[in-house]
Amino acid sequence: MLKVEWRNGLGWSNPQIIQSGPIALHPFAHVFHYANECYEGMKAYIDSNGNVRMFRPEKNMERLNFSASRLCLPAFNGEELLKCIEALLKVDKEWIPRKKGYAMYLRPLIFSTTPWLGLTQTSEAHLYVMMSPVGPYFKSGFVPIKLAVDSKWIRAWPGGTGNVKFGGNYSPTVMAQRDAANAGASQALFVYDKEQYITEAGTMNIFLFWKNNMGEIELVTPSLEDGTILAGITRQSVIDLAREWGECKVTERMLPLQEVLDAFIREDVYEIFGTGTAAVIQPISSISYDGIDYSVPKNAFSENAFQVRMTNTLTAIQYGEIDHPWSRVVA
């Protein structure tokens, strides 16, 4: 793993690559009490020529700096950290699985080690990058999941930290996840406000491919403007590719749950899917709300479905099968 320490006035220490394992911290370290920490999730892939590739990694560096600034954790130089990550990947290249669908997952993490009882500005912090080989999310192709609308627990709200990859957003969703499982679903669909605006599905961004109430074929996802949505890099990539394809209208906006339920009743919802680095695209088969299951049609998962073509294009870029500026050879 990679380790870099920061001290107020001194800045970042020399980065070190050390053996993965336990670390020693003072129990007063701010992170344990006040959750001053943020993280990233990214993957490294091996292409058919044996090159190690990363997908838009500069975006993860930007987002980690954005998260750190929201929590008054120290900023860093993104290109320099990427050089350190490249060095780490070179050391452990043999551990990166070589099959399509497999990858090395990277988990950058910054937290405050400031050893005071009081909640002060951060004076000491650590940055780590851990890695783990990961297999495909689904061993046997697409496996759609069910969502259950969660009107009880609010994941994020305007002025909060929903757009920050900050641990404090995630530990309270473990309970929502348990409730969703008890309701027979795999993930909670988070909504907020009286309009029950749709926000995210578990820890994924959400998209609908449908005929909207104006009769237009549209790809729609909740907008980033109110700060409740984590700005996923997969989300942005799906938006960018869909605009390039030009098959449908592509919209980012506030999306009331009722508008979606009405479209289900009209049978105008063609596909729903989640996006994120782990699954790339996660097909969704149904949304349950108020005891009713609203399901997408069977052909939502066929070969020429929008989400299937999008998955194929994104993974082809990630594994270097299509030459694309989003994929960077790093080692």
Q: Applying CB under 6 A, which residues contact ligand PLP? A: 41, 165, 200, 203-205, 230, 232-235, 275-277
| Other residues' Cβ atoms within 10 Å of the Cβ of residue 175 | 13
The residue among 124 and 271 lying less far from ligand PLP, judged by its C-beta, is: 271
CB of 52 to ligand PLP, least distance (A): 19
C-beta of 36 vs 163, nearer to ligand PLP: 163
CB of 230 to ligand PLP, least distance (A): 4
Q: Which is nearer to ligand PLP, 61 or 308 (CB)?
A: 61
Q: How far apart are CA 317 and CA 238, in angstroms?
A: 12
- The tokens describing 15, both together, are 């980065």
At its nearest, how many Å lie between ligand PLP and the CB of residue 164? 9
C-alpha 73/C-alpha 117 separation (Å) is 17
CA separation for the pair 123, 278 (Å, rounded): 33
Q: Burial level of 167, CB count in 10 A (0-12/13-18/19+)?
A: middle
Residue with tokens 């990233």: 40
CB of 156 to ligand PLP, least distance (A): 8
Tell me if 61 sits within 8 A of 129, measured CB to CB. Answer: no
Whichever of 144 and 276 has its CB closer to ligand PLP, that residue is: 276
Q: Which is nearer to ligand PLP, 6 or 166 (CB)?
A: 166
Least Cα distance to 126 among 242, 47, 16 occurs for 16
The residue written with tokens 């980690």 in the block is 64
CA 38/CA 68 separation, integer angstroms: 6
In angstroms, the CA 201 to CA 216 distance is 24
Give bridge partners of residue 147 from the DSSP assignment.
187, 287
Shortest distance in whole angstroms from residue 276 CB to ligand PLP: 4
Report residue 61 as tokens: 């560096």
Q: Which CB, 29 or 198, lies closer to ligand PLP?
A: 198
Parallel/antiparallel/unpaired status of strands 145-150 and 187-192:
parallel
Q: How far is the CB of 107 from ligand PLP (least distance, A)?
A: 11
Per-residue HEC secondary structure of 3-51 comes to EEEEECCCEECCCEECCCCCCCCCCCCHHHHHCCEEECCEEEEECCCCC
Tell me how far, at minimum, the Cβ of 66 lies from ligand PLP, in Å.
Answer: 12
Distance between CA atoms of 165 and 41, rounded to whole angstroms? 9
Of 141, 24, 4, nearest to 75 by C-alpha is 4
Which residue's CB is nearer to ligand PLP, number 31 or number 64? 64
CB nearer to ligand PLP: give 239 or 331: 239
Render 125-152 in DSSP notation, one character per residue. Answer: EEEEEEEEEE--S-TTS---EEEEEESS
Which of 56, 146 has the CB closer to ligand PLP?
56
> Tell me, what amino acid is at 322?
I
* Shortest distance, position 28 Cβ to ligand PLP, whole Å: 28
Q: Cβ 105 to ligand PLP, closest distance in Å?
A: 11
